[in-house]
Structure formats: structure tokens, C-alpha cells
Amino acid sequence: MVRDINSYITTIKNQIEKNHDEILSLSHEIHDNPEIGNQEVKACKWLTDLLIKHGFEVKVNIATHPTGFIARKKGQNKGPVIGLLAEYDALKGLGHACGHNIIAMTSVAAGIALAQIIDQTGGEIVVFGTPAEEGGPHGNAKASYVAANLFEGVDVCMMIHPFHTTAKTQPTLAIVPIEFEFFGKASHAASAPEQGVNALDAMILFYNGVNALRQQSPRDVLYHGIITHGGEAPNIIPDYTKASFYIRAAHHETCLIYKEKILHIGKGCAEATGCEFKYNDDFNQVHEMLICDRFEQLFIEEAKRLGLEVKLEGAKSIGSTDAGNVSQVVPTIHPTLKICDESITIHTQHFKEAAISKVGDQAILDGALILASIGLRLLTEESLLNEIKNEFEQLKSLKSLVN
């Protein structure tokens, strides 16, 4: 078996090296053609064409996401099912300032490499193309995939995010998105103000009320909000206003508790101003990462095997990710690879530039080899896979007791 494992590792390395130019070229092509969530038409086609070329069976338009895809490569014999998560949406106005071109190519390259040995090891490789990780209208496709039970039968899932440090998966924050509306009555602001019901007054009271709630909220509970519609003209008392908010917390259940408090604020502001209050929470919600230490250890081992320096203490979180939703139903890792200095953070122009730098390109090749090496170990070491799955079940049981 040792000889076979060494042979498999050589095959994986050779495949990544063989596809070197194609992998990096497509990363730059995706970067040069940024598409926001659920509009990643080009990226979806380019990625699926590449996977089809390498023998994957591909389905597109997944769980109400037209630019989503699932690509499968089955071995001749049964075995573990290894999932790889690919993201490829860009930020509105900033392009690939979160490095999703790197994420896409890391997962796809790892999947193609593992496909070369799957007939010998048995099992299945599944690449999940997941649009709109950055949110937005009908965003967070991984949440949709989880709701549609698309990870049923998958043993583990993996992805790697570019960042300013190389580190194992860090705790992330859950998100509950919600929109708020106030409805009043329009009137001339000078000649008949007494006939109006000011929806902007209600919205400003509401916005300030949420601000006041911050003082009585735990430190891990955050509110981000903008007023998306504040009226039509200064001389017309606004009869309609709208705001969009994120509620974030270390645990999804905590978000729901503070959502109820915010709804009470909205109802009170409506009553105080004579407006009608409505809200819409029919959006995909993001869960926190459920972290399996044994699974994380595999990333650390494989990253160190490549000579990478892994930061074990004091690493920062990327914030939130819908990979957290996947981690609630299947063991999942979401570590990071360094592509820039620690002074540079994601969602900036400097990080966008780093995503197509030589260091960024190398992160794709390193990340693909790390993921493929982890996948190989899980395909061939049954006891290791069982350790991870047992820990995962214990984590879920503990969470259910706490909640």
C-alpha cells in the first residue's frame, strides 16, 4: 500500500504540473472577467468545460441557481465521496477582490488531479460549483444546496480561501439578512405637512433604535445596515422607505434572538409615527463554521509538507462564509493560504491585485496539491475518515444539547 500511495501522490503531482498553464490561464481569465453572484455565466461555462474535458459528468442550473454546477467523477469501485467547493463570483464594483478565481481553480485542479487515481482507489470526486458566496439577491448558493439535500451521501467537503495568512479554518460568523419597509402617506411638505405620514421619520427612528441596541448586545453580535430608499424629493413627505440589514453573530441561533429584538424596534417606530411596518427575511441565511480538529490537522500536515509556514495561533477570521452551512451537515474545512502581506485585507484593490500575482498563482498550485493529498488520504485510509466523521457527529450532538 505504501508503494501504491507514493505512486498516487506522483500521479497527482504530475497531473497538476501538466495542467499548470491551463489552470493559471483560466484563473486570470476569470479574474479579468468579473461576474457578480448568480451572473457568473462565463466562469460557469469555462469551469464546466474544463471538468468535462477531464472526464467529469456535469449538471448545470442547481437548486434555483442557473450558474451553479455539480461535476462528478466516479471510480470503478465504491468508496468515500470527496466534495470540493468552488466559488467564482466577484464583488460589485471591485471585481475579484476576494480571490474567488483562486478558490475556483484550486478546487477544480484538485478534483481533476484526484480523478486520475479514482479508478484505482475507488470512491467519487464531486466538485460543487457554488455561485453568489458574496450574497446579494438570492445569494449564498451553498445554503440553497444544503436545503436541497445535495450533500447527502458526501463524506467530507473541502476548499481553501486566499488570505494574508496560511492558517487552519477559523471561527466564522453567522448572518441573517433582512429587509425592512415603512409605509406612510405622501403630502406636500410645505403646504400640507399635517396630512402626511412620514415614512422617513419612522426609518430614522428605526435606524437609531438599532444603533441603541448595540450597547445592550454581546460583543459578537453585529449589525450592518443601509437605507436603500429614503424618499423621492425633499418637498414630498416620504410615503415609503426601505433598509437592508445583516445581523451577524458567532452562532446562527443568536442571530435569530436579536432579529426578534430588532422587529420589536420596527413595530414600535411604526406605531410612534403612524406608519405601517413590514419586513422580509426570505433570504438564504449563513451559518457559522463547525470545525473538526482532526480534519484541520490534515491541512496543517499537508501544508507543512510543502514547506509552508502555518500560523497556529492568533490567525484572523475571514468573517462569514456559506461554507458554514455545508459544515453543519458534512465535515468541512475552509483553511486559508497566504497570498499577500498581513497589512492587506480581503475586499480591497490590493487584494484584487494579489489574486493574480505570482504568489497568488503559486497558491493555486499549492492549494490544489494540498486538497488532492488530503483527498487521497481520505480515499485510502478508512480509519482516518472514520475519526473525522465520529468527531463531526460528536460536535453536532454537543451543539444540539447546547441549543
Per-residue pLDDT tens over the stretch 35-84: 999 999 999 999 999 999 999 999 999 999 999 999 999 999 999 999 99
**pLDDT, tens only, 255-267:** 999 999 999 999 9
Same fold? 5-172+288-402, 174-280 = no
Q: How far is it, in rounded angstroms, from Cα 395 to Cα 163?
A: 27
**Pick from 35, 97, 101: which is nearest to 351 by CA?**
97
Band of residue 2 on the pLDDT scale cut at 50, 70, 90:
very low
**pLDDT, tens only, 52-61:** 999 999 999 9
Neighbours of 22 (CB within 10 A): 15
Question: Which sequence spans correspond to the domains of the chain?
Answer: 5-172+288-402, 174-280
Query: What pTM value is reported for the model?
Result: 0.94
- Radius of gyration for the alpha carbons in the chain, expressed in angstroms and rounded: 23
CATH number for the domain formed by residue range(s) 174-280 = 3.30.70.360
What single letter denotes the amino acid at residue 399? Answer: K
Q: How far is it, in rounded angstroms, from Cα 8 to Cα 29?
A: 30
pLDDT of residue 403: 60
Per DSSP, what are the bridge partners of residue 162? 337
**pLDDT, tens only, 88-118:** 999 999 999 999 999 999 999 999 999 999 9
Band of residue 5 on the pLDDT scale cut at 50, 70, 90:
confident
pLDDT exceeds cutoff 50 at 128: yes
Three-class DSSP labels, 62-92: ECCEEEEEEEEEECCCCCCEEEEEECCCCEC
Q: Output 316-321 pairs: Cβ under 8 A, ≥24 positions apart.
A: 316/165, 316/170, 317/170, 317/171, 317/172, 317/173, 318/161, 318/163, 318/170, 318/172, 318/346, 319/172, 319/173, 320/172, 320/173, 320/174, 320/175, 320/248, 320/286, 321/133, 321/161, 321/172, 321/286, 321/289
Band of residue 137 on the pLDDT scale cut at 50, 70, 90:
confident
Name the DSSP letter for residue 239.
S
Q: Which fold has domain 5-172+288-402?
A: Aminopeptidase (3.40.630)
Q: What is the mean pLDDT of residues 202-213?
A: 97
Question: What is the separation of C-alpha 347 from the centre of its chain, rounded to a whole number of angstroms?
Answer: 14
